[in-house]
Amino acid sequence: MYSLLEQEMNKHALDWIIISGKRASSPDILYFTQELTFSNPIILIKKGEEPIFIHELMESEEALQSPKKTICRDEIMPRHSLPKSFEKSTRNFIQALAAKFKISGKVLCLGSEPPQKSFLIYETLSSLNNVTIAPHNLISFMKTVREIKSVEELKKIKRVSLKTVRIFKETVRFLKSLRRSKSSVLTAGGETAKLGHIRDIVNKILAEERLISEEPPIISMGSDAASPHMRGNDRMEIAEGAPIVMDISPKSLESGYHSDMTRTFALGEPSNFTKRIYRDVKKAYEKAVSLIKEGESLRMPDETVHDFFISQGYETIKSNPNAKEGYIHSLGHGIGLEIHEEPLISRRNVKDCGIFRSSTAFTIEPGLYYKSEQSGVRLEDSFCINEKGNIENLTEFPMTLSIETEHDTI
């Protein structure tokens, strides 16, 4: 799991990495701790050696049961001997830490929460004669390391992806159960069907599957669907033919890994314009997926999608950088412990090594958006290139625009 970490440390001539922060909110901490539940650890990584996890006294029992290298902070400096001042106690502890582990050379400090503690760690280490602090441009160091997933990490992403697909299965089942009257669309219980009913299904399954959505899922319709990140109005009544964009990016409460998936549905017969852009978004998706292979440029699929849309008469941010309608975002992004990670699948990717690599997970999500037509379409799946170089669709589910109800109009 740590082979790329050592490569990157050698590349940047790093001798040590020190990571601090809260496990609950730091993907870098979670990457190393995995099943360990230390809440506010300090992680020490010396080049060529396994990470060391510094934990609180109350976490000692868990530490004893872990195969990882752990040490209680009280073994470094007993809490009762520390000054009461937060600043002084932090400085004294970091000085003792550096002395115990003989920290020297080029050191990369990572961590942002709480900011005062992270700053004090940085400042204290900076004051040591035998330490050189790595430059700030290495702040994204761990994003590069986390781009390559272990076999176990890919399994975790696959598990959350399967649970994500269930949300869409239940949504289609709900849409099919609706009844159309002359004036509105009704639920099986006779209520006026609203987008909030779909959100209730999403929230129910998220809870059942032990998933959370760090941002409200996108469930938008009509003109709202024409804005890529519009969350949608739960009070809006489901209208026949109007496109409903559903974009769900849940995180597993158990593993911390994400998936990401989008479908666009319409109850009954959508407009000819919506049918046309859906057809072309689906073609763009297929063209992009066909280009994914190990070693291919990360720019190529997005360039191809832009060129395809332009050839069909749509505006894109390639043909007009100020475009507000048409294809107005990048094609995809990495997924993992954060919902947006490396790699960036975009014509704007300027990395020297900007190629598809094995053991990575990412999305493909073309879309077209037209507020002037009160219509928008996006289609998205999560993929991985496994350790053998094979491409896998992790959120495989039919792409069907029109959903017909199973009940007669009343």
Average pLDDT of the chain?
92
Predicted local confidence at residue 36, as pLDDT = 83
Predicted local confidence at residue 86, as pLDDT = 84
Distance, CA of 231 to CA of 213 (rounded, Å): 12
Predicted local confidence at residue 78, as pLDDT = 85
The tens digit of pLDDT for each residue in 242-293 reads: 999 999 999 999 999 999 999 999 999 999 999 999 999 999 999 999 999 9
Predicted local confidence at residue 116, as pLDDT = 78
From the DSSP assignment, how many helices (H) and strands (E) are in the chain?
Answer: 11, 21
DSSP 333-388: EE-SSSSSEEEEESTT---TT-B--SSEEEEE--EEEEGGGTEEEE-BEEEEE-TT
Query: Which residues, at least 6 apart from 251, have a Cβ–Cβ distance to it below 8 Å?
Result: 160, 211, 212, 213, 214, 257, 258, 339
Distance, CA of 315 to CA of 310 (rounded, Å): 6
What length does the chain have?
410
Predicted local confidence at residue 330, as pLDDT = 95
Predicted local confidence at residue 410, as pLDDT = 52
Q: Is 187 left (phi over 0), alpha (psi -120 to 50) or beta?
A: beta
Domains of the chain: 3-145 (3.40.350.10), 148-403 (3.90.230.10)
Which secondary-structure segment (H or E) carries 168? Answer: helix 151-177
Predicted local confidence at residue 372, as pLDDT = 94
Distance, CA of 251 to CA of 11 (rounded, Å): 32
What parts of the chain have a pLDDT lower than 70? Answer: 1, 112-114, 350-353, 407-410
Three-state secondary structure call for residue 152: helix
Q: Does 343 sit behind a cis peptide bond, omega within 30 degrees of 0 on the bond before it?
A: yes
Predicted local confidence at residue 366, as pLDDT = 98
Count of other CB atoms within 10 angstroms of residue 183: 7
Convert 316-347 to b/e letters by CB count within 10 Å (16 or more is b). bbbeeeeeebbbbbbbbbbbbbbbebbbbbbb
The rounded radius of gyration (Å) of the Cα atoms in the chain is 25
Predicted local confidence at residue 113, as pLDDT = 66
Token pair recorded at residue 256: 């911390």
Predicted local confidence at residue 353, as pLDDT = 63
pTM to 2 decimal places: 0.91
Identity of the amino acid at 161: S
